[in-house]
């Protein structure tokens, strides 16, 4: 057990006494040491040399690129700052060197992640660092611009809607990075957002979404929401549903609020939402979003989209993703009559023939 879950080893030991080892955040070496306690390492001189791209656990054609650790926000439902600390950004040059090495190793898609991607660099005053003879600021837009020169797909995750996010929409419209934003809005009702202590100026977010889509019509917006947060009323929830209807987000995940030990939300003395009400609100929200998703995907029928191949089944079919689909969390593009020689990591033009609630179906275009 590692990462955030490993920050409280006593509780994990009590619940799962057969766990071999427990390590907390940032303890990579401890993970390897724990594995070697169970299975001693075999000396292999050829494998002891780690390649420049590092050792990846994802498929070869995409990779996660972490640009910072920790978070300066203090959302009341979250304990990540307690576990991982305040924001610590990597120098832009370090990020670019890793990204370039990944691209040279055959990675076709970089998924930029952190706890708060759009706050990147604020802790180091957006310091400049040198990469390939040029100075790059440790700032969200500057880094996205530099990543866009590598000739691979660049996908932005965990972005908060700060005002400066508007600038990356131009990069998307110009085709320099993927037209995709993963923004965890979490809610829309002012009362709930206040109790959550959510950052950024969410009051005008709908206006900004419309402006973003005017600049970049192909923009895909993914988000997540929490229903049943303490104190959430039916009026608050209806406000959220109306907001989602107007926002017409492409991809949405929804979670039912659960108490988290150590979270400030458990000390606010707000009325709890009964589990049955949480379940009902979750179902209502997902039903609304399913209709939105169905309509937005149906609008892609007849278009030809670039798609990255994830796997080929050997029987003429393949699973792929469009620019609007992040791996593991979004939908897929299912292909038929795939020509021989097509392999994972290839980016091909796909004629979209059909769609359902979450996925697209098509054939590689001539």
State how far the Cα of 319 lies from the Cα of 321, in Å rounded to an integer: 7
165, 184, 258, 266 from 263: Cα distances, Å: 28, 18, 11, 6
Q: What is the bridge-based pairing of β-strands 128-131 and 220-227?
A: unpaired
Angle at 147 between CA 58 and CA 348, to 5 degrees: 60
Verify that 169 and 194 share a domain, yes or no.
yes
Q: Are 220 and 324 in contact (CB under 8 A)?
A: yes
Verify that 149 and 16 share a domain, yes or no.
no
For residue range 346-361, what is the model confidence (pLDDT) as tens digits?
Answer: 999 999 999 999 999 9
243, 269, 298: which is the final residue of a domain?
298
Per-residue pLDDT tens listing for the chain (366 residues): 776 666 667 777 777 887 877 776 655 556 655 665 666 555 454 444 444 555 455 678 999 999 998 888 788 888 777 877 888 999 999 999 999 999 999 999 999 999 889 999 999 999 999 999 899 999 999 999 999 999 999 999 999 888 888 999 999 999 999 999 999 999 999 999 999 988 655 668 899 999 999 999 999 999 999 999 999 999 999 999 999 999 999 999 999 998 888 888 888 889 999 999 999 999 999 999 999 999 999 999 999 999 999 999 988 899 999 999 999 899 999 999 999 999 999 999 999 999 999 999 999 998
Verify that 204 and 254 share a domain, yes or no.
yes
Q: Is residue 244 exposed (0-12), middle (13-18) or buried (19+ Cβ within 10 Å)? A: buried
Of the candidates 213, 207, 136, the one whose C-alpha atom is nearest the C-alpha of residue 181 is 213
Verify that 229 and 343 share a domain, yes or no.
no
For residue range 75-106, what is the model confidence (pLDDT) as tens digits?
Answer: 888 877 787 788 899 999 999 999 999 999 99
CATH assignment at residue 313: 2.40.50.140
b/e string for 209-239 if b means 16 or more Cβ within 10 A?
beebeeebebbbbbbebbbbbbbbeeebbeb
The pLDDT assigned to 49 comes to: 46
Verify that 253 and 206 share a domain, yes or no.
yes
Verify that 36 and 118 share a domain, yes or no.
no
Verify that 202 and 221 share a domain, yes or no.
yes
Of the candidates 8, 11, 14, 4, the one whose C-alpha atom is nearest the C-alpha of residue 79 is 4
The pLDDT assigned to 36 comes to: 57
In the chain, the number of structural domains is: 3
Verify that 100 and 181 share a domain, yes or no.
yes
SS3 content of the chain, % helix, strand, coil (to 5): 35, 20, 45
Verify that 234 and 335 share a domain, yes or no.
no
Verify that 41 and 101 share a domain, yes or no.
no
Predicted TM-score (pTM) of this structure: 0.82
Q: Which range of residues forms the domain containing residue 10? A: 1-49
Verify that 13 and 155 share a domain, yes or no.
no
Reading phi first (left if > 0) and then psi (alpha if -120 to 50, else beta), residue 48 is in alpha
The pLDDT assigned to 48 comes to: 47
CATH assignment at residue 216: 3.80.30.20
φ, ψ at 207 (rounded to 5°)? -60, -40
247, 263, 298: which is the final residue of a domain?
298
Three-state secondary-structure class, residue 205: helix
Q: Are 122 and 72 in contact (CB under 8 A)?
A: yes
264, 280, 298: which is the final residue of a domain?
298
Verify that 19 and 161 share a domain, yes or no.
no
* Sign of the dihedral defined by the CA atoms of residues 293, 298, 300, 304, in that order: positive
């Amino acid at each position: 057990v590692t990462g955030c879950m490993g920050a409280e080893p006593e509780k994990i030991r009590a619940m799962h006494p057969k766990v071999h080892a427990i390590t907390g955040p940032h303890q990579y070496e401890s993970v390897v040491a724990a594995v070697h306690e169970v299975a001693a390492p075999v000396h292999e001189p050829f494998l002891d040399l780690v390649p420049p791209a590092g050792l990846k656990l994802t498929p070869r054609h995409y990779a996660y690129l972490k640009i910072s650790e920790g978070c300066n926000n203090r959302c009341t439902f979250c304990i990540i700052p307690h576990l991982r600390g305040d924001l610590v950004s990597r120098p832009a040059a370090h990020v670019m060197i890793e990204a370039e090495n990944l691209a040279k190793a055959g990675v076709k898609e970089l998924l930029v992640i952190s706890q708060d991607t759009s706050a990147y660099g604020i802790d180091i005053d957006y310091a400049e660092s040198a990469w390939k003879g040029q100075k790059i600021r440790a700032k969200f837009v500057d880094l996205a611009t530099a990543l866009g020169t590598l000739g691979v797909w660049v996908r932005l995750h965990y972005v908060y809607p700060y005002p400066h996010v508007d600038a990356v929409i131009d990069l998307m419209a110009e085709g320099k990075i993927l037209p995709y934003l993963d923004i965890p809005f979490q809610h829309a009702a002012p009362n709930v957002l206040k109790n959550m202590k959510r950052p950024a100026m969410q009051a005008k977010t709908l206006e900004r979404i419309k402006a973003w889509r005017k600049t970049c019509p192909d923009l895909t917006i993914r988000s997540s929401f929490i229903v049943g947060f303490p104190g959430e009323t039916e009026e608050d929830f209806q406000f959220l549903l109306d907001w989602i209807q107007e926002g017409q987000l492409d991809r949405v995940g929804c979670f039912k609020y659960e108490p988290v030990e150590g979270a400030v939300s458990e000390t606010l003395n707000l009325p709890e939402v009964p589990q049955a009400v949480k379940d009902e609100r979750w179902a209502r929200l997902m039903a609304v979003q399913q209709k939105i998703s169905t309509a937005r995907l149906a609008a892609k029928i007849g278009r030809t989209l670039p798609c990255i191949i994830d796997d080929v089944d050997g029987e003429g079919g393949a699973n792929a993703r469009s620019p609007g689909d992040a791996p593991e969390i979004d939908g897929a593009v299912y292909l038929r009559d795939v020509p021989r020689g097509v392999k994972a990591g290839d980016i091909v033009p796909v004629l979209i023939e059909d769609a359902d609630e979450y996925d697209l179906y098509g054939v590689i275009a001539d």
